[in-house]
């Protein structure tokens, strides 16, 4: 896909469980803009690498996997979450597990993998506009956009959200285990040398702890509408 540099972009960054996925989807629907779930790209490559039996610490092998993996987004027939097709397989449910998130975080620290996915992400920038959901959308991928939001929430709150989501899917998880995984991932993402998780200097910070989703959406929309 060829990007359109004149298309407006709203970046929504933040840690896992901050609500950015749900908020991004709702904001994109309200604005009538395209949606980029950048985290799904990393999860998809992590999934493909795992399916191929690759060692996620093997930078060269995972980079080749990132370059060759075919990733496509498709609307859900029931109007639910967007489906993610990896090499022709609907891997949406596998990508949303904590294992999928851990794999994404591990490969995201490899500079050559990140570079392989940059052009793919830039290609989503098309009219009428793009809502880009991720961790470095405002700092690395679309630093030129004036519309930047950074969502956050306490680790305890984020763990409760993930616990509820995963339990609804029938997965056997513990709240304490999820909180420990989230805190470890936060530390890993914030301390990595390449594109560490942090708000852009000109991003609007929104703490979603205890905040109804409708209020978060309103705050984010206000960033574009101002």
Round to whole Å and give the CA distance between 92 and 164.
Answer: 18
Task: Output the pLDDT for position 127.
Answer: 95
Give how far Cα 219 sits from Cα of 14, 138, 187, Å: 15, 17, 27
Task: Output the pLDDT for position 171.
Answer: 85
Contact 59, 112 (CB under 8 A): yes
Number of residues that make up the chain = 226
pLDDT single digits (tens) 59-78 = 999 999 999 998 887 777 77
Say what percent of the chain tops pLDDT 90: 58
Average pLDDT over residues 19-38: 91
Residue 122 has pLDDT above 70, yes or no: yes
Say what percent of the chain tops pLDDT 70: 99
pLDDT single digits (tens) 142-165 = 999 999 999 999 999 999 988 988
Task: Output the pLDDT for position 168.
Answer: 86
pLDDT single digits (tens) 190-214 = 787 777 788 999 999 999 999 999 9
Residue 103 has pLDDT above 70, yes or no: yes
Task: Output the pLDDT for position 80.
Answer: 67
pLDDT band at 101 (very low <50, low <70, confident <90, very high): confident
Can you give the three-state secondary structure of the chain, one letter per residue? CCCCCCCCEEEEECCCCCCHHHHHHHHHHHHCCEEEEHHHHHHHHHHHHHHCCCCCCCHHHHHHHHHHCCEEEECCCCCCCCEEEECCEECHHHHCCHHHHHHHHHHHCCHHHHHHHHHHHHCCCCCCCEEEEECCHHHHHCCCCCEEEEEECCHHHHHHHHHHHHHHCCCCCCHHHHHHHHHHHHHHHHHCCCCCCCCCCCCEEEECCCCCHHHHHHHHHHHHHC
pLDDT band at 1 (very low <50, low <70, confident <90, very high): low
Residue 226 has pLDDT above 80, yes or no: no
| Higher per-residue confidence, 142 vs 124 | 142
The strand pair at 71-74 and 83-86 is best described as: antiparallel
Closest CA to 46 of 26, 15, 69: 69
């Amino acid at each position: 896909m060829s990007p359109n540099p004149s298309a407006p972009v709203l970046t929504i960054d933040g840690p896992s469980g901050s609500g950015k996925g749900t908020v991004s989807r709702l904001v994109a629907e309200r604005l009538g803009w395209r949606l980029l779930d950048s985290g799904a790209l990393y999860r998809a490559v992590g999934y493909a690498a795992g399916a191929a039996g690759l060692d996620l610490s093997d930078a060269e092998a995972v980079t080749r996997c990132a370059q060759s993996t075919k990733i496509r987004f498709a609307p859900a027939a029931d109007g639910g979450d967007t489906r993610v097709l990896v090499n022709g397989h609907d891997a949406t449910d596998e990508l949303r597990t904590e294992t999928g998130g851990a794999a994404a975080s591990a490969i995201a620290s490899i500079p050559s993998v990140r570079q392989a996915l940059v052009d793919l992400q830039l290609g989503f920038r098309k009219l009428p506009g793009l809502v880009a959901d991720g961790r470095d959308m405002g700092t690395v991928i679309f630093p030129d956009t004036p519309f930047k939001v950074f969502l956050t929430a306490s680790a305890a709150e984020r763990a409760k959200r993930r616990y509820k989501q995963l339990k609804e899917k029938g997965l056997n998880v513990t709240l304490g285990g999820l909180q420990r995984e989230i805190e470890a991932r936060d530390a890993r993402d914030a301390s990595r040398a390449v594109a560490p998780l942090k708000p852009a200097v000109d991003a609007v910070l929104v703490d979603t702890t205890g905040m109804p989703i409708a209020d978060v959406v309103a705050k984010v929309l206000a960033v574009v509408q101002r």
